[in-house]
Chain A
Amino acid sequence: MIAAGISVLASPAARADDSTLDFKFLHYGEQGGRTQVSNPEIYFTHDFGEKGQVGLLLSYDSISGASPTGEAPTADTTTSASGGASGSIPMVGYQDTRQAISASYQRRFGSNLPSITLSYSHESDYLSRGFSLVDSWELFGGRSTLHAGVGVTSDRIQPVTLADTFAKKGISFSLGWSQVLGPRDLLDFSLGLENLNGYLTDPYKLVTVGASALPEARPDTRSRKSALIKYGHYYLSRSAIKTSYRYYWDDWAIKAHTLELEWDKRLGRRFILAPRLRYYQQGAASFFAYEFSTPQSFMSSDYRLSSFRSWLAGIGMTVEVNDRLSFELAASYLDQTGIDRAKVRPAVVPPLFTLGGVGAFETEEGGEGGPHSLSAADLKTISLTAGFSFKF
C-alpha cells in the first residue's frame, strides 16, 4: 500500500508464473572527446510464486574515447581569442568492451525475504567475480523492515601495459532500517562498509614528478564507509517526492556529500514523469596532487580522487501502454567542476633552469588559480536511456 504509493515508478510485483523482460539501452557521453559508453542491458525475471523468484541480468558495455592520463597540463603558454585558459589536460585514447552477467534468487520465508546474487564481468584487462547475500526482515506487521547484507568480490587485473597480473579483493556489509511513518511517508536509514585490499592503483594513470611522468601509486587497502538517509512522501495528487542524503568517507581521506531530489508525477493513466536533481561534492584523497616535486610512497593525479563538485539534472518518462508493456525514456545532464586546479607548467622544465620561487615571485591574481588553471575534473556529460518492460 504505502510502499506501492511511494514507488509509483516501480513495476507492480510479478505474480506467480509471471515473467518480466526488461530491456534498456544507455548511452553515456563526456564532452570534449572523452569517454563514450554504449550499454545495452537485458534483465529477465521469473516468479515461481512460493518457490521464489529468479533474475538474470546480461549487460554489454562498449567503451571508447579518451581519458586524462593524470599528467600535469603542458604548454609554455596558449594563444586564444581572449587569453582565458591555457594548456590542455594530457589524454590517452582507449577502447574496451565489458560483458557482465549476474544471476539472483530470492524467496520468502515468513517475514524474511533473503536473496542471493552471483555476478561475473569481464573486460580485456579486468575480471570480476562477486557474491552477495541480502535479507529483508519485516517487523511490526510490516511497518518496519530491517535489511542487512554481505558481499564479497574477487577481481583480477591484467594491465595491457604490464606483464604482471594483480588481485583485488573486497568484502562489504550493509545494515539498514526502513520505517513507515504514516499512510504516506517512508523513511529509510542505512549504513555501508566496504573493505578493499590488493591492487587498487589505476595502472594507466601517471603523475608528473618534477620533469618526469611516473606511474601513480595508491595504498593497497581502502576502507569505504557510507551513511544514507532517504525519505519519501506520497501525495494524493498521485505524485511522490523522494529525497536522499548520503555521506561517504574513507581512509584515503575522501569525504563526499550527495543530495538528491526526485519527483514522480503520474499524468493521466499512462504517463509518469520523473524529474530529478542531484548535487555532489567530494574532497580530495590525502595523496592526490596535480604535480609532485619528489616521488612519494603514495601519489595520484587521477581527477576522480581530486576535490570537485557536480550538478546533475535529469528527467525520465514512462509510458504504460497496458498492464504488460511499458516504455521508458530518460535523459540527464551533469556539469562537474574541479575544485583542485592544476596550473599550466612548461612542457618540460628546462634542465638549465630552476623554477622561480613560487611564493616569492610567481604571482597570480584572482582566486582558485585564476583563469590559468585547469582541472581534469571539469566535465560535462549527457546520459540517454531508452527501454521497455514486458510481462508475459
Chain B
Amino acid sequence: MDTATDRTLYNKWFRVMGGWGLLRFVDSRGVDAAEAIALRAMSEAERIERKYSRFIQTSVVSRINRDAGRTPVAVDEETVSLVAHALSLAATTRGAFDPTVGVMRRLWNFREERVPEVSQVEALRRLVDYREVSVRDGTVFLRLEGMELDLGGVGKEYAVDRVAACLRAEGVESAVVNLAGDLRTVGSRGDGRPWKIGVMDPRSGNQTRFSVRLVCDGGVASSGDYERCFIKDGVRYHHLLDARTGFPARGLAATTAVAATAFDAGLAATAAFLLGPEEGLRHLEETPGVQGALITEQGDLLTTSAMRSCTDLPGSIYSEYPLI
C-alpha cells in the first residue's frame, strides 16, 4: 500500500570510477523495487565508465588514443558532445585545462612520488594540445601520434547527471547521487529541509569545512590537491596539472562549484582550480548559473558573491539556524 509512511530512504554504496558511489533516494515501492532502481542507475554509471575510461582497452577513449596520428575514429553523438565540452573548457581556460594532458602520466607517478625533470616535461609537452583534437562529421581524431585523450575531467560529472536522470526516469523524486565526490541532487529532500552537502577541508583529513545547502535539483563538484598527491622537499605535487606547464597548478588547495548540473559544476570547479585564486574566482563569478568557493594553499576561503546564500558560511540563514 502506497502511503506517506511507506516512503523509505535507501542508501546504496558501490565501487565506481576508482572511488565510491552513493545513491541515496526515497521511494515507496518496497525494497525489491528499490533494489531494481538502484541496479539500473548503477549500470548507467558502469556503462559510462566502460565507454570513457582510458584504463579499459575496449573503451571509445582507448580506441581514439590507439589511432592517434593515424585515422579519425567514428563515434556517437554522446561522445562528440563530451569531447566538444572538454575542448570548450580548454579554450575557456586558455589551455590550463587540456583533455590531452593525460600523456604527462608517463612522467608523473604519484604512487612512487617521482618528480620529473623539466626537460622531460618540455619534451612531452608537444603532445599536449587540445587544438590538435579534431571533432568532425561524427569522428574524433588526435592529429599527433602519441597524443592521449582523457575524459576523466568531464566524464565523471556527466555520469552523475546521467545516473540522476535515470533515477528521475524511474519515478524517483527525491535523491542524491554522489560518484567519487561529485554529486547531483534530484528534487527536494522531502522533509522541508535542504539537502546538506559537506565540503571537504583539504588539509584536515576527513573533516568538512562547510556545507552547501540545496533545496532542489543541483550539481556540486570539487577539485583538490589532496588526492593523488605527495609532498617532496616541502613541496606538494598533485594530479591537477596545468597543461600549459606540465606541472601541478599552484595557488589553490581546493575548489567547489555549485551549478544546475554536476557537469557544469565540474567544469567550473576544474577551471577555477587550474586558473588559481584570482582568475579562478573571476571565472566562477562570470560563469552564468555557477557559484563557487575556493580554498587557497594558505587555507583562506574565497567565495563568489552569492555562494554564501547556499551554504552555512557566516552571513547565510543556515549559519544562524544550523538545524535547518
Q: Is the CB of B190 within 8 A of A83?
A: no
Q: Is the CB of B14 within 8 A of A361?
A: no
In the bound complex, what is the Cα–Cα distance between A358 and B183 (angstroms)?
A: 23
In the bound complex, what is the Cα–Cα distance between A360 and B22 (angstroms)?
A: 16
Contact of B198 among A87, A354, A365 (CB under 8 A): A87
Mark contacts of A67-82 with chain B using CB atoms, 8 A cut-off: 1 yes-contact digit, 0 otherwise. 0000000111111111
- Give the one of B22, B182, B202 with max A CB within 10 A: B22
| In the assembled complex, A86 has its CB within 8 A of some CB on chain B | yes
Contact of B222 among A79, A86, A348, A362 (CB under 8 A): A79
For the complex of A and B, 6 pairs with smallest distance between CB atoms: A83-B181, A81-B224, A350-B191, A85-B206, A83-B180, A75-B198
Q: Is the CB of B204 within 8 A of A353?
A: no
Stretch from A5-13, A173-181, A366-374 that touches the partner: A366-374
Q: Is the CB of B31 within 8 A of A352?
A: no
Instruction: Mark B residues whose CB is within 8 Å of A.
Output: 4-15, 19-22, 24, 26, 31, 34-35, 176, 178-183, 189-191, 193, 195-200, 202, 204-208, 211-212, 220-228, 254, 256, 323
The verdict on A79 contacting B20 (CB below 8 Å), with A356-B8, A363-B12, A364-B13 known, is no
What is the distance, in angstroms, from A361's C-beta to the closest C-beta of chain B?
5
- Give the one of B13, B14, B193 with max A CB within 10 A: B13
Which residues from chain A contact B13 at a C-beta distance below 8 Å? 362-365, 370, 372
What is the distance, in angstroms, from A303's C-beta to the closest C-beta of chain B?
14
Pairs across A and B, CB under 8 Å, 6 listed: A77-B183, A79-B183, A81-B181, A81-B226, A82-B181, A361-B34
Q: Is the CB of A374 within 8 A of B226?
A: no
In the bound complex, what is the Cα–Cα distance between A87 and B198 (angstroms)?
A: 6
In the bound complex, what is the Cα–Cα distance between A363 and B12 (angstroms)?
A: 6
Q: Is the CB of B193 within 8 A of A347?
A: yes
Q: Is the CB of B198 within 8 A of A348?
A: no
Q: Is the CB of A87 within 8 A of B208?
A: yes
Task: Please tell me the number of chain A residues within 8 Å of chain B, measured between CB atoms.
Answer: 43
Q: Is the CB of A84 within 8 A of B227?
A: yes
The verdict on A78 contacting B223 (CB below 8 Å), with A31-B204, A352-B191, A353-B8 known, is no
In the bound complex, what is the Cα–Cα distance between A87 and B179 (angstroms)?
A: 15
What is the distance, in angstroms, from B189's C-beta to the closest C-beta of chain A?
7
The verdict on A80 contacting B9 (CB below 8 Å), with A75-B208, A365-B14, A372-B20 known, is no
The verdict on A79 contacting B220 (CB below 8 Å), with A88-B206, A89-B207, A353-B8 known, is yes
Q: Is the CB of A76 within 8 A of B31?
A: no
Nearest A-chain residue to B27, judged by Cβ: A356
| In the assembled complex, A355 has its CB within 8 A of some CB on chain B | yes
Which residues from chain B contact A354 at a C-beta distance below 8 Å? 5-9
Q: Is the CB of A360 within 8 A of B19?
A: no
Nearest A-chain residue to B221, judged by Cβ: A79
In the bound complex, what is the Cα–Cα distance between A378 and B11 (angstroms)?
A: 25
Q: Is the CB of A80 within 8 A of B5?
A: no
Which residues from chain A contact B323 at a C-beta distance below 8 Å? 348
What is the distance, in angstroms, from B16's C-beta to the closest C-beta of chain A?
9
Which residues from chain B contact A84 at a C-beta distance below 8 Å? 19-20, 181, 200, 206, 227
Q: Is the CB of A77 within 8 A of B193?
A: no
Which residues from chain B contact A378 at a C-beta distance below 8 Å? 205-206
